[in-house]
């Protein structure tokens, strides 16, 4: 016991010493205002983020009101320069030679996926992007409309019970979006794998990722030690690696049978086709190693499980609060000969042309992505000294763009209250809003590579829900709020589901 206590004291002294000397060596805050940081935790505790009192985007809005469009936020021992205006975002996103993806975008994520595209920059990022990005473009994902619709039908038939209040829609949204990424990216039925054990595994993995992200205020060896001693993470990691190996093995067998004439049709086929253990960063077209391929598969699975599911959950929440929006969407479907019925066999096939004709439905998805704090901020690191709005930014400093701040700023959104859910705004003053005033997927060359798939997936699933006559009704317990995880989900959802009569 005495030895353990001595070890604990020594560890505490080492951590405090590390924080002290690191802070002494830290770059200055460039003359920007901001809340006073606390030892070790910076502004993570006094802002209410670590205690769960406030979400990250709520804190960014609060500090913008207190300090203006530019301020400093201490993420543990790291001072981050925060910029919250449209002009700031345009300048930072446009200068790809000065600003690159920051490690603080997903702190410590390299401990889980050291070979993932989201952790790379420079030539390594380019090599991975040449393999990954083409498969997520709209021209590719639009071919999977039927698959997305079928996954939505599975969601409706298996998860939505008429005249019942649903309190677990967030988890069910994760299931449907994982099914979509499974079929589209891997040609793999993850729905068959989504038993209770698999759900728990993914949830445990995300939980550990979130915890370790906040360890970025400490030396990285602390996070490594935590992962090494965390038996639940070790079990989860082994399970996910086995799942990925099964997916890769299945695709390799398919390619062996098909021969070399077959062109890659999805992400996993593209990844397996690019397999090259001699891949290096000197040749940007030299493919991926097996370790890199596994990490890209895991990253795609995490994204499919968490991010798009967040958007779908927020869409359902907003629709439950706005019955007139659901009615108008269904009227538009009816006007475009997409009859509303619960009989799947009689539903008209969704096509690209029919999807594009549903303008009001497009407005609804835009409004969801504008308001929902799925990814409320993004970060960049300065590759060289520069100036942003008369503020010097030194090489190696991290800047943060408050995307949700811009998305709801009255300076750029003029129709009614920009914090209200009003899809009709795109018919009025906000019809020609500035492109950078709606930042749902970041911007510049490091914008989310899966944004075309996420946009299409959200639109098709919501359209299918309306086409099947689903109506989401509000309840007194449906209070919303924010639950900060890898993304920010609605905290309390209690929504009654009803089905309309066919028309």
Residues paired with residue 83 on neighbouring β-strands, in sequence order: 70, 401
Q: Any idea what the Cα angle at residue 272 is, between residues 267 and 274, rounded to 5°?
A: 95
Q: Are strands 398-402 and 391-393 parallel, antiparallel or unpaired?
A: unpaired
Q: Are 181 and 299 in contact (CB under 8 A)?
A: no
- How many of the other CB atoms lie within 10 Å of CB of 72? 22
Q: Is the separation of the CB atoms in 462 and 361 below 8 Å?
A: yes
Q: Enter the tokens of residue 272.
A: 């397996």
Hey, which residues does 330 pair with through a beta bridge?
none
Residue 26 assigned to a binding site = no
Residue entry with tokens 């749902």: 440
Residue 99, helix vs strand vs coil: strand
Residue 127 backbone dihedrals phi, psi, to 5 degrees: -65, -45
The alpha carbon of 134 is separated from its chain's Cα centroid by a whole number of angstroms, namely 19
Classify 108 in phi/psi space as left (phi over 0), alpha (psi -120 to 50) or beta: left
Give the burial class of 482: count Cβ atoms within 10 A of its Cβ; 0-12 exposed, 13-18 middle, 19 or more buried: middle
Helix (H) or strand (E) holding 434: none
Is 149:464 a contact under the CB 8 Å cutoff?
A: yes
**CA 104, CA 106: separation in Å to the nearest integer?**
5
Closest to 23 (Cα-Cα) out of 10, 39, 12: 39
DSSP 261: T
Distance CA 237, CA 323 (A): 42
Contact 115, 296 (CB under 8 A): yes
For helices 169-186 and 145-159, give the axis angle rounded to 10 degrees. 150
Tokens 């930042």 locate to: 439
> In the structure encoding, which two tokens stand for residue 155, read together?
């969601």
Residue 432, class by beta-carbon neighbours within 10 Å (0-12 exposed, 13-18 middle, 19+ buried)? Answer: exposed
- Token pair 């890209």 in the structure block, residue: 296
Question: Residues within the annotated binding site?
Answer: 448
Question: Residues within the annotated binding site for heme?
Answer: 448
């Amino acid at each position: 016991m005495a030895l353990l206590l001595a070890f604990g004291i020594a560890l505490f002294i080492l951590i405090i010493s590390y924080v002290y000397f690191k802070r002494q060596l830290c770059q200055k805050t460039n003359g920007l205002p901001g809340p006073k940081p606390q030892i070790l935790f910076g502004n993570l505790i006094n802002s209410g983020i670590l205690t769960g009192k406030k979400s990250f985007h709520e804190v960014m809005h609060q500090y913008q009101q207190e300090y203006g469009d530019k301020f400093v936020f201490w993420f543990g021992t790291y001072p981050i320069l925060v910029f919250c205006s449209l002009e700031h975002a345009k300048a930072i996103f446009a200068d790809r030679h000065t600003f690159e993806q920051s490690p603080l975008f997903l702190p410590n994520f390299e401990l889980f996926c050291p070979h993932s595209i989201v952790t790379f920059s420079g030539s390594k990022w380019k090599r991975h992007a040449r393999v990954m990005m083409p498969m997520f473009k709209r021209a590719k994902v639009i071919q999977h409309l039927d698959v997305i619709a079928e996954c939505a039908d599975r969601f409706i038939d298996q998860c939505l019970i008429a005249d019942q209040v649903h309190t677990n829609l967030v988890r069910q949204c994760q299931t449907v979006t994982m099914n979509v990424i499974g079929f589209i990216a891997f040609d793999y039925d993850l729905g068959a794998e989504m038993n209770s054990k698999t759900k728990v595994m993914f949830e445990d993995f995300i939980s550990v990722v979130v915890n370790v992200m906040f360890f970025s205020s400490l030396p990285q060896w602390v996070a490594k030690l935590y992962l090494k001693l965390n038996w639940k993470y070790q079990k989860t990691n082994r399970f996910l690696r086995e799942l990925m190996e099964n997916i890769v093995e299945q695709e390799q067998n398919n390619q062996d049978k098909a021969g070399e004439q077959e062109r890659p049709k999805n992400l996993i086929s593209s990844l397996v086709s690019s397999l090259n253990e001699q891949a290096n960063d000197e040749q940007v077209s030299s493919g991926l190693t097996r370790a890199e391929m596994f990490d890209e598969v895991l990253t795609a699975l995490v994204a499919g499980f968490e991010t798009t599911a967040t958007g779908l959950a927020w869409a359902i929440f907003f629709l439950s609060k706005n019955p007139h929006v659901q009615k108008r969407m269904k009227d538009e479907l009816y006007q475009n000969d997409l009859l509303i019925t619960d009989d799947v066999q009689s539903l008209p096939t969704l096509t690209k042309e029919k999807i594009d004709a549903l303008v009001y439905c497009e407005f609804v998805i835009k409004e969801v992505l504008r308001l929902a704090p799925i990814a409320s901020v993004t970060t960049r690191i300065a590759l060289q000294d520069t100036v942003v709005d008369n503020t010097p930014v030194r090489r190696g400093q991290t800047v943060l763009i408050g995307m949700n701040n811009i998305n709801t700023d009255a300076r750029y959104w003029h129709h009614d209250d920009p914090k209200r859910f009003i899809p009709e705004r795109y018919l009025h003053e906000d019809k020609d809003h500035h492109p950078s005033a709606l930042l749902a997927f970041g911007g510049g060359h490091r914008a989310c590579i899966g944004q075309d798939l996420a946009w299409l997936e959200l639109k098709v699933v919501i359209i299918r829900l309306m086409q099947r006559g689903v109506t989401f009704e509000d309840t007194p317990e449906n209070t919303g709020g924010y639950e900060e995880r890898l993304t920010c989900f609605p905290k309390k959802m209690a929504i009654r589901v009803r089905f309309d009569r066919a028309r």
